[in-house]
Structure 1
Amino acid sequence: MADNSSCPPTFHRQPGVKFDVTDEMQRDYNESGFAIVRNLFSGDEISRLRSNLESPDSELMKRSYSISDGDGGFVKMILWNHPGNDYSGMMGRCERVVDTCSKLAGGEVFHYHTKMVLKEAFTGGAFQWHQDYGYWYLNGILRPDMISVQVAIDDADRGNGGLQVVRGSHKMGRIDHGRVGQQAGADLERVEQALKVMQKVDVDLKAGDGLFFHCNLLHTSSQNKSPRRRWAYISCYNRADNDSYKDHFHSRYTPLDKVPDSAVLGCDDFVTMDGKWFHRPDESSYDYIPEKK
């Protein structure tokens, strides 16, 4: 059940109970452009991912890189196209994520890419105001029938560089974007006008909470100057009937092999990276160069 209407649209997953999108959640998502699900992943599930990332032998962290925010800050990232069969892949393939994205997006979805955004204490960079479809559009995708889910690995709020969104801004359609540092940023004139008539919302998440959001939702996050780290796992999905008309550096339609929710904790594989198709930035063009292994 959603919280009071004056608050962000928020829902709760009960342990041991299959999560499903209610009519209320669908309406709130359609109206606001986002919905929060508390306890999307359990403490044990997040703890296992966090422990692996903190390990000096983490295969995922070996593939991390940093991007500039254009204002002296840097964000460490890990990005891959296909979910894979390791623990991080099970998170992006499990029923509670895939089924929720399919219902909110209105049809079958496939995995577009997953990234981890790792903002370290004191030094973590900002993300400029942007829409994901503001630059995904350039990859040959005709419609904004795309959705992402951000899962908090650490507690997140504005103090440690948590996400801020503009409620209902997905209804504006795609805004022109330009380059800011190594990021894509939305036309600030449009952003400023949107903020005059729409509500800016701080997305405060506890570890394990998930934010499902539309690809045209305006969002940003500030630099992390606090002593608290802010790590997040973000999986992005495209509708199966909205495949790109051209090849690009993210995946085109590939049927998604969905797994039961129990497959997350049931997976002990943190080392198999085959087939995930990791990316690294090309500093000369800001595009991504795929690591195909």
Structure 2
Amino acid sequence: MEKTGFGPFKNEFKYEDPEFRVTDEVRKAFDECGFIIVRGLMDDVETGKIKKSLEEYGLVEKYAYGVPDAVGREPKVLLWCYTGNDVLGLVPRLEKVASTAEQLLGGDELYHYHTKVMMKDAQKGGSFEWHQDYGYWYKNGNLRPDMISLFLAVDPCIQENGGLQVLVGSHSGGRVDHNFDGGQQGADKERVEHLKKIYPHCFVNLQPGDGIIFHCLLLHSSGPNDSAMRRWAFNCSYNKRSNNPVKKHHHPFYHKLDKVGNNVLRECDNYCEPEGKEFVDPSTDATVKAGSKPAEQ
């Protein structure tokens, strides 16, 4: 990783194997902005394997469901709890993902909380309303915001097709109350408008293989997809072992995360191993109101 961050907030870094590491510069950028962007975190081979797993093995058709936005348009979500040894399960176990997230949160042990794929169909995909991930996870019994996520672009994720928007540094504003906004948890709108006057509003444009690693208190959203381009993104989330939830819910309690070397994904030919992942049935998730349901339900 380059020693000096670039981009308007100096929080963008280029992945360079085997020199990728969380330096003081990287940690400072994360602490100040609430996120870092890692350009080229996955190479073309790795990104291609993720895309192949999602496109060719029927998981989207079997398990994905809609989560309507405030105006009723639907982005879709494919969500599971445990990793496995297939291509999709290896991504959150890679050292360059898991150890980076761990170091950015202070070095304490993390476990895999869940992975999801977020999908916006061309010309009709819906928005994700302004929210903090902790707006959902607070309601799941996680007492502290010791949680972090990787958002990885599978397709181009740009402003034109409903890419990410963030309020830079807004994680420092603390937890915002969340309530249903359509089928999603949306942050209190009045509070968000006040925060927009304090924190810069930034569009994050990502190309396939680029990743953004962000704190669970960072306010973010994404607009509708009115373009002719599909927008798929892979998102894996982690919780600290010391922040084990205090109530049972649709995501798991602490379990050991078995990390793997950065070359393992490139060498993996196991494209589909759905057993054991525990794909989430949206009827068990009290934090969403699902729209369209999976084909097998």
| Superposition TM-score tier, normalisation by shorter sequence | over 0.9
Alignment of 1:250-269 (within 5 A): 250-269=251-270
- Who is 2:143 aligned against? 142
- Who is 1:101 aligned against? 101
| Structure 2 Cα separation of the partners of residues 203 and 73 of structure 1 | 22
Alignment of 1:36-51 (within 5 A): 36-51=37-52
Alignment of 1:130-209 (within 5 A): 130-209=131-210
Q: Any idea what SS the aligned residue of 1:164 has?
A: strand
- CA drift of 1:158 comes to 1.1
- Who is 2:88 aligned against? 88
When the two structures are superposed, what TM-score results if normalisation uses the length of structure 1? 0.93
Q: Which ranges in structure 1 are unaligned for 5 or more consecutive residues?
A: none
Distance change >3 Å, CA 283–CA 137, structure 1 → 2:
closer
- CA drift of 1:284 comes to 9.9
- Who is 1:114 aligned against? 115
Distance change >3 Å, CA 269–CA 3, structure 1 → 2:
same
Of 11, 14, 17, 1:12 maps to 14
- CA drift of 1:53 comes to 2.0
Larger strand percent: 1
Task: For 2:9, give the aligned amino acid.
Answer: C
1:177-236 Cα offsets, whole Å, 9 max, x none, are: 010111000001110011112101111111000100000000000000001111000000
| Structure 2 Cα separation of the partners of residues 70 and 33 of structure 1 | 26
- Who is 2:277 aligned against? 276
| Structure 1 Cα separation of the partners of residues 145 and 96 of structure 2 | 22
- Who is 1:210 aligned against? 211
Alpha-carbon contact 1:61-1:78 (below 8 Å) kept? no
Q: Any idea what SS the aligned residue of 2:271 has?
A: coil
- Who is 1:34 aligned against? 35
Residue 68 (1) aligns with residue 57 (2): no
Q: Any idea what SS the aligned residue of 2:59 has?
A: coil
Distance change >3 Å, CA 284–CA 266, structure 1 → 2:
closer
Distance change >3 Å, CA 285–CA 167, structure 1 → 2:
closer
Q: Any idea what SS the aligned residue of 2:197 has?
A: helix
Alpha-carbon contact 2:76-2:120 (below 8 Å) kept? yes
Alpha-carbon contact 2:68-2:182 (below 8 Å) kept? yes
Distance change >3 Å, CA 244–CA 175, structure 1 → 2:
same
Task: For 2:220, give the aligned amino acid.
Answer: H
Alpha-carbon contact 1:140-1:244 (below 8 Å) kept? yes
- CA drift of 1:108 comes to 1.1
| Structure 2 Cα separation of the partners of residues 61 and 23 of structure 1 | 43
Task: For 2:99, give the aligned amino acid.
Answer: D
- CA drift of 1:280 comes to 2.1
Q: Which ranges in structure 2 are unaligned for 5 or more consecutive residues?
A: 291-297
How many residue pairs were aligned?
287
Once structures 1 and 2 are overlaid, which stretch shifts more, 208-217 or 71-80? 71-80
- CA drift of 1:118 comes to 0.8
Distance change >3 Å, CA 61–CA 42, structure 1 → 2:
farther
Task: For 2:128, give the aligned amino acid.
Answer: F
Alpha-carbon contact 1:40-1:210 (below 8 Å) kept? yes
Task: For 1:118, give the aligned amino acid.
Answer: M
| Structure 2 Cα separation of the partners of residues 62 and 199 of structure 1 | 39
